């Protein structure tokens, strides 16, 4: 099973990025280590995060205080699938690596929405994923009911126009859509950047009465993530001031 190739094997849709969301938690037993070892572990993990492969973009977030059982998120973007293995395989070594667990993780690929036509809608104009500078990131997997795909394409596009129009009423929220068909368990992994949790809450509520929402099969778990530097992400998980 393969996508149609363009000239010289190029993707006809243009370049696409892979995207991965790694949610992690630090086990309580780590906190019983001597303070000097804990300090060394924090510095070591920070250094590992700060030195990714050349073509891998890394953004770090804390979920301490927003999601039980999850302490941090690594948002990873690369045009090269192998970059994730290179980064994560090295990342979880060291003194802290043996005390980490990964309760959730999602993987996908960028592509232009088939429903846009000539219409430009932020975050979906191409297959490139470009993290911004939002204070918050809201992430969740998404699956549509199979009945959705049985509708004629023009009907689906008409329904999605309403969806897009509501999104335009909340310009402070930027969507990043990862397509996961055949790559991971969900169909999509959605991430929304913004500086106001209230604006995102109002956007999601405004979308509830739409026709498109009737075809939603799954949109949980939902993660509210606070953008922080790598060291602060680790310190919050470790219970350090």
Neighbours of 174 (CB within 10 A): 18
Q: How is residue 183 written in tokens?
A: 């790559």
What are the pLDDT digits (tens) for 169-216? 999 999 999 999 999 999 999 999 999 999 999 999 999 999 999 999
For the whole model, what pTM was predicted?
0.91
Cα–Cα distances in Å, from 99 out to 32, 41, 72, 92, 196? 11, 11, 14, 9, 33
Q: Report the alpha-carbon angle 191-221-234, nearest 5.
A: 70
Q: What is the pLDDT, as a whole number, of residue 238?
A: 94
What are the pLDDT digits (tens) for 58-102? 999 999 999 999 999 999 999 999 999 999 998 888 899 999 999
Where does the pLDDT of residue 9 fall: very low under 50, low under 70, confident under 90, or very high at 90 and above? Answer: low
Find the radius of gyration of the CA atoms of the chain. Answer: 19
CB of 17 closer than 8 Å to CB of 77: yes
Q: How is residue 146 written in tokens?
A: 């199979």
Structural domains of the chain, with CATH: 1-241 (3.30.70.1030)
Q: How is residue 95 written in tokens?
A: 């003194």
């Amino acid at each position: 099973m393969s996508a149609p190739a363009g000239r010289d094997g190029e993707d006809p849709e243009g370049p696409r990025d892979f995207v991965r969301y790694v949610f992690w938690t630090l086990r309580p037993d780590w906190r019983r280590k001597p303070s000097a070892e804990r300090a060394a572990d924090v510095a070591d993990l920070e250094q590992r995060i700060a030195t990714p492969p050349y073509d891998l973009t890394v953004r770090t977030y804390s979920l301490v205080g927003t999601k039980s059982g999850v302490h941090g998120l690594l948002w990873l973007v690369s045009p090269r699938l192998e970059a994730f293995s290179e980064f994560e395989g090295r990342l979880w070594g060291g003194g802290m690596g043996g005390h980490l667990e990964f309760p959730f993780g999602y993987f996908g690929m960028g592509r232009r929405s088939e429903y846009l036509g000539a219409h430009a809608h932020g975050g979906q104009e191409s297959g490139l994923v470009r993290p911004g500078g939002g204070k918050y990131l809201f992430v969740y997997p998404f699956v549509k009911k199979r009945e959705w795909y049985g509708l004629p394409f023009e009907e689906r596009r008409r329904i999605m126009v309403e969806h897009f129009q509501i999104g335009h009423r909340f310009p402070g929220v930027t969507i990043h859509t990862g397509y996961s068909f055949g790559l991971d368990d969900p169909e999509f992994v959605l991430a929304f950047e913004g500086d106001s949790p209230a604006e995102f809450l109002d956007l999601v509520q405004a979308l509830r009465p739409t026709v498109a929402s009737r075809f939603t099969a799954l949109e949980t778990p939902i993660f509210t993530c606070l953008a922080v530097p790598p060291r602060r992400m680790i310190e919050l998980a470790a219970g350090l001031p």
